[in-house]
Amino acid sequence: MSEKRSTHFGYREVDEEAKAGLVANVFHSVAARYDLMNDLMSGGIHRIWKRFTIELSAVRAGQSVLDIAGGTGDLAAKFANIVGPTGRVVLADINESMLNVGRDKLLDTGFQGNVEFVQADAQYLPFPDDSFDCVSIAFGLRNVTDKDLALRSMLRVLKPGGRLLVLEFSKPVNPLLGKAYDGYSFRVLPVMGKLVAGDSDSYQYLAESIRMHPDQETLLGMLEDAGFVNCEYHNLTGGVVALHRGFKA
């Protein structure tokens, strides 16, 4: 008899097969107010983190970019401006609600021609091998059930020499900052979620999922194990967030 494997959903242990559905419910619930909540929760700093991600992507005109878990399209819009009409940006998200919000936002602000929208699971990317110059995933990897499988899938679709960028919450380097951050995450965020998005549970999950996500060094090792080379990371805002980068040989 095959034994069901378990994984974590926040602090809870759940069946691996159930996690995707639970995460989907979280994002269906917050999709409409996602941008507003991001601005409120981070005080707008998420824009600076994403700007730094764009700088490290070194994407140029005419290149192809895959933005996984692209949500409401913040990164995809910036990439689309850089790659221009001869380039290609694919905004992918597993969650239909998030993808709809992102697609509407980008089309309403005039992005068309070089942007595609694909509902896709990061673990099983529906693209041929060696398709993209750059793959990015911002605040999405921690929600993926099997992160190693997803990283290998990202490596597969990257062109040789292409780069992966993983922007994700991480572990603050200063213990004092860590304590303040804990207090903020578990006391303020759920209340803010309740008041603005009408959903405190989703933001409780957000705080828990951040604590369960691998820290900087562990994620670096995972990138190397998946087959990426020249891997490195940059701590942002004292390690509250880290940007990992790896190349396909």
Binding site for another protein (CB under 8 A): 45, 47-49, 51-52, 55-56, 58, 60, 216, 232-238
Closer CB to another protein, 100 or 237, in the complex: 237
Residues 6+ apart with CB under 8 A from 167: 49, 50, 53, 136, 137, 138, 139, 241, 242, 243
DSSP, collapsed to helix, strand or coil, labels residue 11 as coil
Q: Whole-number minimum distance, CB 141 to another protein, in Å?
A: 18
138/144 with CB nearer another protein:
138
Rg (CA), the chain: 17
* Phi (first) and psi of residue 161, to 5 degrees: 90, -10
> What is the smallest separation between the CB atom of 239 and another protein, expressed in angstroms?
9
User: C-beta of 178: minimal distance to another protein in Å?
Assistant: 15
**Minimal distance in Å, beta carbon 220 to another protein?**
8
**Straight-line distance from the first to the last Cα atom of the chain, in angstroms, rounded to the nearest whole number:** 41
Q: Which is nearer to another protein, 53 or 145 (CB)?
A: 53
Kindly tell me which of 189 and 240 has the beta carbon lying closer to another protein: 240
Structural contact between residues 136 and 105, judged by C-beta atoms closer than 8 angstroms: no
